Amino acid sequence: MPVQDSIADLIGEDEKCYTIKRIFDNDNNLSLVQILNSKSEIYKVLFYDECERLSSMSIYNPESGREIKGITYKSDGKTISSVRDYDIETEKLLSVTFYRSDGAGVSSIIEYNDTGTETQFTLFEESGQVSTKVI
């Protein structure tokens, strides 16, 4: 998939994008893409590996500049590996969701409290059984 197509897919049709800044490394490989709103505030950053495959994406609250979601991709640059969700106001980590190797389903979720301590671990087994451990 060409980089331009993947960027367009990741921006989303409902979001208003006014500026896309592509940043290249010393070998002229695409390193990251910043997506800015009409006020030139960053609201998404796409990070690429040395082979120009998408490795992760950070989504920001443009008003505060704080990260509200972090998505990590598997080495194919398409399949989601994990998603980190943050509190919009405090920037504290709320949960991390891990996906199965095929990216088709959730394998586990770790939830955190206000102090950053793990509070709950939920495991989603392939058999359909769900087990939760309060920590």
* CATH at residue 13: 3.90.930.1
For residue 61, the Cα-to-chain-centroid distance in whole angstroms is 13
pTM: 0.82
Q: Do 62 and 97 fall into the same domain?
A: no
Q: Cβ(95)–Cβ(115) under 8 Å?
A: no
Q: List Cβ<8 Å contacts ≥24 apart for 106-115.
A: 114/90
Q: Do 13 and 48 fall into the same domain?
A: yes
Interatomic CA distance for residues 118 and 120, integer angstroms: 6
Q: Do 82 and 97 fall into the same domain?
A: no
Q: Do 80 and 33 fall into the same domain?
A: yes
Q: State the total domains in the chain.
A: 2
The pLDDT tens digits for 9-27 are: 555 544 555 789 999 999 9
Tell me the C-alpha to C-alpha distance, in Å, between residue 84 and each of 46, 48, 51, 76: 15, 18, 24, 19
Q: What is the mean pLDDT of residues 75-90?
A: 92
Q: Which domain holds residue 74?
A: 1-88
CB atoms within 10 A of CB 13: 6
Q: Do 16 and 80 fall into the same domain?
A: yes
Side chain identity, residue 98: F
The pLDDT tens digits for 43-61 are: 899 999 988 899 999 999 8
Interatomic CA distance for residues 56 and 53, integer angstroms: 9
Q: Do 80 and 130 fall into the same domain?
A: no
Q: Cβ(41)–Cβ(15) under 8 Å?
A: no
Q: Do 62 and 1 fall into the same domain?
A: yes
Q: Do 58 and 98 fall into the same domain?
A: no
CA angle centred on 72, ends 124 and 98, rounded to 5° = 10
Q: Do 67 and 133 fall into the same domain?
A: no
Residue with tokens 């301590």: 117
